[in-house]
Structure 1
């Protein structure tokens, strides 16, 4: 009987630790932005999460050149290419709130960087909330899971 209890305890402990790990990694993958004109790959580095643009619906500008970060307020950064650019930085999983917070998001359409938090909306979508100061002053976009 003790042996069965021990096996059951080990199984439950393993299951719970696997579930906890899966919860933190739930945003890892490729996501369409709300306009479906870009795909962002969210990945983990150490204990933090980042995201970069891995696909663009329109990768070229009007002159046929690769799109650049032309809205950036820093003139030196206006030349960097949008494709492959890391737009999500330094997110940490908060198990208590079941969200990823303390991160930043860069919007290449406006050239602005915002504080940001991410939460799971449902199985195939996430809420990405960018804000200035407190999260009450901001906007939430829904991103949907995509394939590469």
Structure 2
């Protein structure tokens, strides 16, 4: 009887962990910003979530060359193309549709901010901030179908 109870308990725990991982992975995929200028592909490395700029409406400048990360404070990174830049880094899932403790890089300003993301169906609420989330800016990204 004890053996059956232990097996049932173990099975329940495995099912719960699998369901939690599936819920956390609901963020994976492509998301488009409100202006429609870019799409970010969110992916997973280990237990953390990251996002890279996977598509740009206008990836090239007027001369036909790739737009560069010219405003990056790291001089060594200023010559890299914007397309493919990892914008979102090191997010963890808190179990309540919230991804936190990560950062977001804004290639338009060259600045990196603390960030929190909340998943609501096919809308990803992004909140970039300095210090506490009271001082920041929010955007809603839509899932690319």
TM-score (norm 2): 0.86
Tell me how far apart the structure 1 counterparts of residues 133 and 13 of structure 2 sit (CA, whole Å): 36
Residue of structure 2 in register with 1:104 after alignment: 103
**Aligned equivalent of 1:31:** 31
Which consecutive segments of 4 or more residues in structure 1 shift more than 4 A? 8-15
Q: For this pair of structures, how many residues does the alignment match?
A: 141
Q: Which residue of 2 aligns with 1:17?
A: 17
1:4 maps to what in 2?
A: none
**What secondary structure does 1:87 align onto?**
strand
Structure 2 residue ranges without an equivalent (≥5) = 1-7
Aligned residue number for residue 138 of structure 2 = 140
Q: CA deviation at 1:80?
A: 0.8
Name the residue aligned to 1:123: 121
TM value normalised by structure 1: 0.85
Runs of 5+ in structure 1 lacking a partner?
A: 1-7
CA distance in 1, matches of 2:85, 2:134: 28
CA RMSD, Structure 1 to Structure 2 (Å): 2.1
Alpha-carbon distance in structure 2 between the residues aligned to 1:75 and 1:13: 49
- CA shift for structure 1 position 72: 1.5
